[in-house]
Structure 1
Amino acid sequence: MGTVRRLRSVAGPSVVEAIDGFLATLDHPETAGTRRVYASTLRQVREHLGAATPLAVLDTPAAAAGLVAWFTVRWGERAPATFNRNLDTLRSAIGYWREQDWLAGDPSRALRRRGRAPDRTRSLGRAEITALLGREELPLRERTLWRLLYESAARAGEVLALDVEDLDLRNRCAKVRRKGNAVDVIVWQTGTARLLPRLLKGRSGGPVFLTDRRARVPLAPGDVYEPTGQARLSYRRAAETFTAATGGATLHQLRHSALTHAAEDGANTSTLLSFSGHTSVASLARYARVSPEALRRWQQRRDPATRCR
């Protein structure tokens, strides 16, 4: 007697219904950023497959192969981090669809995450940092933001989300929301302490870092300073401004530099974990690697010829 196989029906949700169902699971405030990123990727998946197409067709070899080929063309030439981020998004959605019994298999199984070579030069040198933070010709907003990011080693998103009410100017600290929505405290030094009052100009509320002009589109009340209509400065705009002013550096390099320099100055692991907001030593390891500049200084101190002189 032959083997009896159950034929899977093509009945079930359409592609757009399946995507909407998955995104609906990311309806918590702490997952708003994840939902936004996932929605961008899945919108392109929807356009490729067709919104009204039954999701179950992805269980057919032809449709699965087509999805793999399209994904490879769409993101194959991008950086490994970008490729992997979009693949993780697709697989998160597929995992949910399989849990709902909307799919039997994994149409993305032929795709493989891509490794990336470690970049050991992301830390800016101390001289570069000093020159950058000392550029008086730059707008006050940028000088304050960049110095705060370096002195606190906070993530740019955490600092840009600050409201004036979060600041404790007297004690040079502020409450921020870390990854996972955990509440933490960042602390800054004299440079930031001198700039912040000049930036705020006596304001007692609203976002700390504002756009230059009034908001052009409706925004959440918490992202607008009502007296002027200015909006909270976006990460995208802040990153573009920094990259343009530095000739290619990224905002994240300020954080990376701060942690690397702290490690070079002898900060212990516990201090670095608090400084960075990390919860694991493994996540911290890449920041604690000394810079080429520090390595040269160390070699010079050890050089017998230098000691003789």
Structure 2
Amino acid sequence: MGQVRALPVRGVRLKDAVDHFLSTIPSANTRRGYAVALNRLVSDFGADSDVGLLEAERVGGWFVFKWGGSSAQTFNVRLASLRAACEYWRAQQWLVGDPLVRLVPRKVPPDHSRALTRDEVTWLLAADVPLRERVLWTMLYETAARAEELLMLDIPDLDMGNRCAVVTRKGGARDVVAWQSGTARLLPRLLAGRKSGPVFLTDRKAKPGVAVGDIDPSTLRGRLSYRRALELFEHHTGGFARGPFTLHQLRHSKLTHAAEDGASTPMLMRMSGHTSVRSLGKYSRPSAEALIRWQAQTDPAARRRR
């Protein structure tokens, strides 16, 4: 006898299938990221269409039409979202087969230009933007901390006299980050005498249901989210020749510039919070401008002319 092939459960609406899958993802940021491709799928194929009838030829063609011209990274992120959903739907027996079988991830070329130039950092930190953004951007660059680490800071975590703060690193470890004059000058203006609550606040009062620890008791405003902070940064850096930039590039830039200025590997690891030299490697690669400057400074002919 031949193998008996399982049949999908018919009649599951695509919109319902997407909602069920997204509800299984605990992280709000991950959920929003997956929803980009999945909501587009629902919009283009129809909310009432049967998830079990998704076909490889049609889905593959649709995906290439939508994201074929995007960067390899975006292409792969959208494809990964759909693959995860399809795996879940197959486990529920709502789908048989793989409608993404004709699609393969693209090779992402190595990126050696993630760091901003020193001039770009100078222009950015002097930009005419609201005080909250100036403080966050300056602190991100000067501390080389992750944006998530700084956005989770509460005022009692700050040591203004010693220009440092205790943050929760990736993985949960508690660590100290330190800043310089730019942050030290701006931060008191942002706090405006507040003694408790999150350091970085939203523009409006917090919505019902927000955790008490994420609300400033004096203004009732909530903690600024990573998503909103990133949106604002991308908006304000869209006019740069290489923009828009990401918040992570401020951390990357500080570590790169510190390495160019001669910071030791242990100091770079202390600054970044990395626990392995291998993880630090991509951040401490000297920039193109640093290479050009070094070549000019060490040129034998230039030394003879002096």
Tell me the distance in 1 between the aligned counterparts of 2:13 and 2:238: 44
Deviation at 1:304, TM superposition (A): 1.0
Structure 2 runs not aligned, ≥5 long: none
Tell me the distance in 2 between the aligned counterparts of 1:138 and 1:11: 54
Pick from 139, 144, 148: which aligns with 1:148?
Answer: 139
Tell me the distance in 2 between the aligned counterparts of 1:228 and 1:11: 52
1:40 aligned partner? 36
Post-superposition Cα deviations, 1:88-143, rounded to whole Å, max 9, x if no partner, equal: 1111222333344444432212112223433433322334434543x385543233
CA pair 48-137 structure 1, distance change in 2 beyond 3 A: closer
- Tell whether 2:154 aligns with 1:163: yes
Post-superposition Cα deviations, 1:5-29, rounded to whole Å, max 9, x if no partner, equal: 42432325543443333333323xx
Tell me the distance in 1 between the aligned counterparts of 2:188 and 2:295: 42
Q: SS at the partner of 2:64?
A: helix
2:204 aligned partner? 214
2:17 aligned partner? 18
Pick from 75, 78, 90: which aligns with 1:83?
Answer: 75
CA pair 127-20 structure 1, distance change in 2 beyond 3 A: closer
Tell me the distance in 1 between the aligned counterparts of 2:90 and 2:266: 42
Q: How many residues align?
A: 298
Pick from 145, 170, 191: which aligns with 1:200?
Answer: 191
Q: SS at the partner of 1:225?
A: coil
- Tell whether 2:246 aligns with 1:254: no
Tell me the distance in 2 between the aligned counterparts of 1:273 and 1:99: 43
Tell me the distance in 1 between the aligned counterparts of 2:21 and 2:81: 11
2:229 aligned partner? 235
1:300 aligned partner? 296
Deviates more, 1:253-262 or 1:190-199: 190-199
Pick from 152, 167, 178: which aligns with 1:176?
Answer: 167
Matched ranges for 1:62-73 at <5 A: 63-73=55-65
Tell me the distance in 1 between the aligned counterparts of 2:90 and 2:8: 14
Post-superposition Cα deviations, 1:238-278, rounded to whole Å, max 9, x if no partner, equal: 31454157563523332221010122123344433342344
Structure 1 runs not aligned, ≥5 long: none
**Residues 11 and 54 of structure 1 are in contact (CA less than 8 Å); yes or no, is this contact kept in structure 2?**
no
Q: SS at the partner of 1:174?
A: strand
Tell me the distance in 2 between the aligned counterparts of 1:66 and 1:216: 44
Length-normalised TM-score, structure 1: 0.81
CA pair 252-49 structure 1, distance change in 2 beyond 3 A: same
Matched ranges for 1:41-56 at <5 A: 41-56=37-52
Q: SS at the partner of 1:157?
A: helix
1:271 aligned partner? 267
- Tell whether 2:189 aligns with 1:189: no
Tell me the distance in 2 between the aligned counterparts of 1:189 and 1:131: 17
**Residues 7 and 96 of structure 2 are in contact (CA less than 8 Å); yes or no, is this contact kept in structure 1?**
no
Tell me the distance in 2 between the aligned counterparts of 1:162 and 1:98: 42
**Residues 235 and 244 of structure 2 are in contact (CA less than 8 Å); yes or no, is this contact kept in structure 1?**
no
Length-normalised TM-score, structure 2: 0.82
1:93 aligned partner? 85
Post-superposition Cα deviations, 1:168-196, rounded to whole Å, max 9, x if no partner, equal: 32333334344455554422223312321
**Residues 175 and 184 of structure 1 are in contact (CA less than 8 Å); yes or no, is this contact kept in structure 2?**
yes
Sequence identity (%): 50
Q: Aligned Cα RMSD in Å?
A: 3.0
**Residues 16 and 51 of structure 1 are in contact (CA less than 8 Å); yes or no, is this contact kept in structure 2?**
yes
CA pair 111-281 structure 1, distance change in 2 beyond 3 A: farther
Structure 1 stretches of 4+ moved >6 Å: none
- Tell whether 2:2 aligns with 1:4: yes
Tell me the distance in 2 between the aligned counterparts of 1:246 and 1:223: 33
What amino acid does structure 2 have at the position aligned with 1:176?
V
What amino acid does structure 2 have at the position aligned with 1:82?
T
